[in-house]
Structure 1
Amino acid sequence: MALVYLKEINQHTRFAIWKIEESADELLSKLQLSRSERAFLERLNKGKRTLNWLGTRVLLRSMLDTPGYIDCPSDENGKPYLVNFPHKISLSHSFDYAAVMLSTQHEVGIDMELVKPKIELIANKFMQEGELNQLSANQYIEQLYVCWCAKEAVYKLQGKKGVSFKDNIWVDPFSYQSEGGYITAHLNGPYQNVTYKVYYERFQEYMLGYVMG
């Protein structure tokens, strides 16, 4: 496993990306897991899901730089949290990469997706018509991924089920920048009404979206 990207956003917040190259056994050898965590792994289908779960935990251990056990359960909404560390966290993975975002001050959300043209087929599942109409024809697929990653990052930050990407999170018009930038996303859900500045950037063939709140 190799660290391929590390970004210090501010003195409190950072994220990192690792490429998963080890086997499941090799990743397991780097972790301390509870009985319930091992039971969870047994329920997963062997393959990418197992490697992705293990990869995010190995990266988390690397970022926290501790020899001790890291208790990282998920709450009733599926949002991961740390029991014995003060950091807020967000986890993501896509194919051979794992991403972890940490902050000692802010709630955070991060999403990482491999850019593929097929996203166009499901665009109306997570975008309102007005949002789609504001996208330009140039680099249309990349813009869709910016919107998806932004909405996913906001969803992870707020951490509640019952929030719809299409109906509760929408984005303002933006001009896509290949070197990265930010968009404004509005969360108008059953729990809160908040506006976020969500940052995006390309990493190789992937799109990243990340937010602090």
Structure 2
Amino acid sequence: MPVVFTKHIDEHTILSVWKIEETEQELFAGLQLKDHELEFIATFNNGKRLLHWLSTRLLLRTMLKTSDYIATGLDEHGKPFLLNRDYHISLSHSFDYAAVMISKDKQVGVDIELVKEKVLRIRNKFMTDEELAGLPSADNVSALYICWCAKEAIFKWHGRKGLEFKRDMVIKPFVAAEQGEITALVSLPDGERQLTVHYFKVDAAYMLGYVADK
């Protein structure tokens, strides 16, 4: 498994990224899947989705340093969790990469995206005019992907339906770089929270954002 990045964020929290180079058969060989999982992935309508699902599970096993069966599930909000391990988890994938975060004591969220010009067409769907004015340029593709990954990571961190990118998350002005951190104000049911989201580029063509907070 070609792990290209691992970061120990603190003693209980780890982020890993790896490039998907294995075949489906190679990924299957590294996992012990139950009948219900095989039935679930049999519904996938394209091969890339299967590679993504298998690779995140195999990366989870690698991060947990175990060859035992790892049972994962989805809660009523669609958030993944471990049934037989005491960890919070977050999974993401985009084209040739997969990313996983685990933590024993924090909620986590991670998102990885292939950077494409198409983000310019949808920027007003997830960014307010005020947020766009706070960027170095509203046409800065990298800055827009930092914001998208940040909001997606926050959504996964929260793990509940109803949180909207444009209505409930505000990215404070920042200067985009190859890596760094940004501040976001998030309107949650129990009040407003300020979160720090870290970001960095992967392989020059991908952006990754992550958050870990209690």
In the superposition, the TM-score normalised over structure 1's length comes to: 0.95
Give the residue type in structure 2 aligned to 1:197: T
1:210 is displaced (CA, Å) by 0.4
Separation in structure 2 between the aligned mates of residue 186 and residue 68 of structure 1, nearest angstrom: 40
**Aligned partner of residue 21 in structure 1, secondary structure:** coil
Equivalent residue number for residue 8 of structure 2: 8
| Structure 2 gap ranges (5+) | none
Quote the Cα distance in structure 2 between the aligned partners of 1:58 and 1:193: 36
Secondary structure of residue in 2 paired with 1:117: coil
Aligned residue number for residue 127 of structure 2:
127
Q: Is the contact made by 2:126 and 2:165 (CA closer than 8 Å) also made in structure 1?
A: yes
In structure 2, distance between residues paired with 1:104 and 1:73:
17
Partner of 2:184: 185
Write out per-residue CA displacement over residues 104-136 of structure 1, whole angstroms, 9 at most, x where no aligned residue: 111100000111111011000100111011111
CA separation of 1:192 and 1:34: change in aligned 2, threshold 3 A: farther
* Residue in structure 2 matched with residue 146 of structure 1 by the alignment: 146
CA distance in 1, matches of 2:66, 2:3: 17
The answer (yes or no) to whether the contact 2:120–2:139 under 8 Å persists in 1 is no
Shift of 1:193: 2.6
* Higher alpha-carbon deviation: 91-100 or 1-10: 1-10
Which amino acid counterpart does residue 129 of structure 1 have in structure 2?
A: D
Which aligned pairs between 1:63-82 and structure 2 lie closer than 5 A?
63-82=63-82
- Matched with 2:49 is 49
More strand by share: 2
Matches of 2:46 and 2:138, distance apart in 1: 40
For 1:106, the equivalent position in structure 2 comes to 106
Please tell me whether the aligned partners of residues 101 and 108 of structure 1 are also in contact (alpha carbons under 8 angstroms). yes
Q: Residues 102 and 158 (structure 1 numbering): CA distance in 2 closer, same or farther, change over 3 Å?
A: same
In the alignment, the residues of structure 2 paired with residue 102 and residue 136 of structure 1 have an alpha-carbon distance, to the nearest angstrom, of: 33
Pair 1:171 & 2:168 matched? no
- What's the counterpart of residue 23 of structure 2? 23
Write the distance in 2 (CA, Å) between the matches of 1:88 and 1:192: 22
- Confirm whether residue 117 of structure 1 aligns to residue 117 of structure 2: yes
Taking structure 1 as reference, are residues 80 and 192 closer, same or farther at Cα in structure 2, changes over 3 Å only? farther
SS of 1:92's equivalent in the other structure is strand
SS of the aligned residue for 2:42 comes to helix
Q: Is the CA contact 1:169–1:189 (under 8 Å) kept in the aligned structure 2?
A: no
Q: Is the 8 A contact 1:126 1:165 kept in 2?
A: yes
User: What is the CA-CA distance between 1:137 and the residue it aligns to?
Assistant: 2.4
Per-residue deviation at 1:162?
1.5
Q: Which moved more, 1:26-35 or 1:102-111?
A: 26-35
The alignment covers a number of residue pairs equal to 212
Report the AA paired with residue 159 of structure 2: G
Contact 2:170 2:185 in 1 (8 A): yes
In structure 1, give the amino acid aligned to 2:107: E
AA aligned opposite 1:183 = I
Q: Which runs of 5+ in 1 are unaligned?
A: none
How large is the RMSD of aligned CA atoms in angstroms?
Answer: 1.4
